[in-house]
Amino acid sequence: MDELKESVIVTGGSSGIGIAIVKKLLKSNMNIVVFDKYLSKDLQKLIRLQPNLLRFIEFDFKNPEELKPAFDKVSKGSQIVALVNNAGICLEGDLLQKSLSEWNETINVNLTSPYVFMQLASKYFIENKISGSIINITSLHSEIIREVPDYSASKAGLKMLTKEFAFYLSKYGIRVNAIAPGSIQTNMILKYHELKDVERNAKKRIPTGRVGQPNEIAEVVEFLLSEKAGYITGETIKVDGGLSLVI
């Protein structure tokens, strides 16, 4: 294993919070493997600039049963030391009108795929005696109603999985934590709301008076992956500008 590159897997790394995480970790000269269903122009640019540090694996998280062969392929060429489960979707719609297929899609992407990935990474860490780290990107809506039940339920489940895996893996020196973003300026928000409306709403509702930026989540990811966070496991860190204090 010594000759293999130490690598971090980041899911959903083509845009939004995911690509902010990738950029932050690249600045620390970390080797990164991005799993995502599409390769964005921004990620393509990063790969051209850092071809020795960054790889892309095309993967659709609606199909979690196909994760194992993809993970096995990556682990044969790299020494995986961390996993960041960031990929997620939010399908807007009325609670009583949501179809079972929409529910299954959300659960597969937001909860089942991270669960399978955590299993695979955990077994890999244990077998190779690696004190790895796992970070799950949940949401403030793991606790607070968003009126998108499948999304909220999936994120609440991921928060609990974080605790379960953290407890089980602690004896192996493997840490598992989560980050719960509040209102962050990403395409997931801007798909449904104009930026000016998001900003105006933030000034009214969020104690810090502004929307968060993807890089502010990436900063916390970098910290949790570092030795500075060596005594932290099983935690969900809210990064929400104080929004959870008032709702």
- So which residues are the catalytic ones? 151
Count of C-beta atoms within a 10 Å radius of residue 204: 7
Strand order in 5-11's β-sheet? 54-58, 31-36, 5-11, 78-85, 133-137, 175-181, 236-239
The Cα–Cα gap between 144 and 96 comes to 19
Torsions phi, psi for 86 (to 5 deg): -115, -25
The Cα–Cα gap between 230 and 117 comes to 22
| Three-state secondary-structure class, residue 20 | helix
DSSP 109: I
Torsions phi, psi for 10 (to 5 deg): -125, 120
